[in-house]
Amino acid sequence: MLRLKVGFLLAAFAIVPIAAKANSCPESYAALARAPVHQRGEALVSATYGRLEELKAGRLPGIEIEVIGTSDGFPIQLVRVRSPNPKAARVFVSSGVHGDEPEGVTTGMALLENTIRSRRYDLTYVPMMNPGGLKAETRANLAKLDINRSFDPGVGTEAAEALKKAMRGRNFEVAVDLHGASQKTQFFLISAKEEGARADEILKNVPEALLLPSSTGTYPGYAPGLNDPKKYRMLFPGSAISNNGGTLKDFLAAYAPRSYTLEYPGAVDFSLQQEWNYRILNSILETAEK
> Least separation, in Å, of the C-beta of 98 and Zn ion?
3
Query: Which is nearer to Zn ion, 135 or 179 (by Cβ)?
Result: 179
> Least separation, in Å, of the C-beta of 73 and Zn ion?
22
> Least separation, in Å, of the C-beta of 47 and Zn ion?
20
Using CA atoms, how far apart are residues 127 and 48, in angstroms rounded to an integer?
8
> Least separation, in Å, of the C-beta of 5 and Zn ion?
27
What would you report as the CA-atom Rg of the chain, rounded to the nearest whole angstrom?
18
Using CA atoms, how far apart are residues 170 and 172, in angstroms rounded to an integer?
7
Please, are residues 281 and 107 in contact by the beta-carbon 8 Å criterion?
A: yes
Residue ranges of the alpha helices (H) in 20-59? 29-34, 41-58
Using CA atoms, how far apart are residues 28 and 249, in angstroms rounded to an integer?
28
Query: Which is nearer to Zn ion, 121 or 264 (by Cβ)?
Result: 264
Task: Output the furthest CA–CA distance in the chain (Å, rounded).
Answer: 54
Which residues are at the interface with Zn ion (CB under 5 A)?
Answer: 98, 101, 179
Length of the chain: 290
The closest of 105, 127, 113, 120 to 26, measured between CA atoms, is 113
> Least separation, in Å, of the C-beta of 97 and Zn ion?
7
